[in-house]
Amino acid sequence: MYQVSELVKRYIDICNDPDALRHLVNEAIDLFREEWRKRRDPFIEIANRNRVIVLGDIHGDLGTELRILEKVSVEELRKEDTHLVFLGDYVDRGPNQVEVLASVLKLKLEFPESVTVLRGNHESTPDLRVAPHDFPDELIRRYGLRRGNELNLEFEKLFYIMPLTALLERSVLLLHGGLPTTTYDRAATLQEYLGGMGPTDKRIIRAEILWNDPIEREIVRAPSPRGIGYLFGRRLTRWVNKRFKIEYVIRGHEVPAEGYKINHDGRVITLVSRIGPPYFNVKATYLDLNLSREDWLRNVRKSIKVAVEQVL
């Protein structure tokens, strides 16, 4: 029996061959399309697992990714006993962007029922550009102008169809940015809330899920300093809890100094699973949930683990 980190080390050689990398992206596109066709809800359902590992933003930090995945055995994924959830932002401003993204996609392809790969705001598409964002430049640097641009176009097709949200045991909502505000007080079901109630809703909700951040104010929303999305307040989180029985929201998108932060009376948890420049967090964290315990839902905050700590 060996650990998932050992498997990932075997995967990363694919990044040396642009043709193999393009083939990997196309395989992932086919898989995500097939999952989308089968899925009736706007979220991925995760249930009947003994253990769930959640990683926040990685931003090309392969070392920290490996540190976390060495805690999981390949056999756990094969048996579908353990589930891995990635919250997005695999690329941008990190030394191993391509390796991180390729390894996550390979894990998804090899263990499709045991791995959930969500989109982050840095999984950029033409309708939702982000800046600064150096992933296209990294592809050109590594593979040349023509191949780099061709690969970037393929990756954008992939990013566009990545799922945005996952729901764990009908109680924990997992996403990259934050709770959408557009369907507040209008949606009667979680499907309507996260999927929208019309074409205009869908477009706006997608941006909000990828870009929103929590704020400690008794409001639904306020303008975001990011220039896109909103700051969502405690009133919205309480409404989502009461209307849809969502106990926790697990997200990434921000880089807290201690590797995580807690908002809205403990119901919103932010994780970052990377460390090092250009960010200034001193810890990288992940969530390790033991769902075999009856009280697991009361112990979500205690399930935050430190993957690596920077010595100052």
Look at residues 55, 59, 43, 48 and name the one whose alpha carbon lies nearest to residue 4. Answer: 55
Query: Using an 8 Å Cβ cutoff, are 212 and 251 in contact?
Result: no
Beta bridge partners of 10: none
Q: Cα separation of 276 and 85, whole Å?
A: 22
Out of 59, 83, 122, 253, pick the active-site residue: 122
122 is a catalytic site residue: yes
Report the chain's C-alpha Rg in angstroms: 18
Catalytic site positions: 122
